Amino acid sequence: MATNNYLTQEGHDRLRAELDDLKGRGRREASRDIAEAREKGDLSENAEYHAAKDAQGLLEAKINELEKALVNVRILDAANVDTSEVRLLTSVRIKNKKVNKEMVYTIVSEPEANLKEKKISAGSPIGAGLLGKKVGEIAKIQIPAGVMEIEILDIFIS
């Protein structure tokens, strides 16, 4: 049975645009590169041809990955998200108890995760450890460096 992939409308649109670009421009460029390399002679010893074929294979793998991510998409609307506990699309203000530092992260699905934008995947150790927690609770999360204790200070929609 297929599992649902949860995305925001923005995340869905971004992935769809990337897929369309790879299928159009990406495939045209890969085909052109292979044709140019083929014109250079003996294919058995043509490193440029083999590199172009490898690049085409990577392109097709990326297209396949994006198509799979978009197959069973469910679009999440932040307006309908309950903020009584940490869930997908909620922003959470947390405090690392060990270093006494506050941070704010938004919990998102894997394709939308971007640490620079303070968006962490629900499948990451910290994201998974925060899911279902309520304000005031302490999440004990196993990370490579040991156990991290995080206090939930606030849950909101940003």
Please give the Cα distance from 88 to 109 (Å, whole number).
7
Predicted confidence at residue 6, as pLDDT, reads 82
Predicted confidence at residue 2, as pLDDT, reads 53
Predicted confidence at residue 9, as pLDDT, reads 86
Predicted confidence at residue 79, as pLDDT, reads 78
Per-residue pLDDT of the chain (158 residues; tens, 9 = 90+): 456 778 888 889 999 999 999 999 999 999 999 888 888 777 677 788 888 899 999 999 999 989 988 888 888 887 788 889 999 989 999 999 989 999 999 999 888 899 999 999 999 999 999 999 999 999 999 988 889 999 999 999 88
Predicted confidence at residue 72, as pLDDT, reads 81
Contact yes or no for 107/122 (Cβ under 8 A): yes
136 DSSP assignment: T
Domains of the chain with bracketed CATH: 5-76 (1.10.287.180), 78-156 (3.10.50.30)
Predicted confidence at residue 105, as pLDDT, reads 96
Predicted confidence at residue 1, as pLDDT, reads 42
How many angstroms separate the most distant Cα atoms in the chain? 69
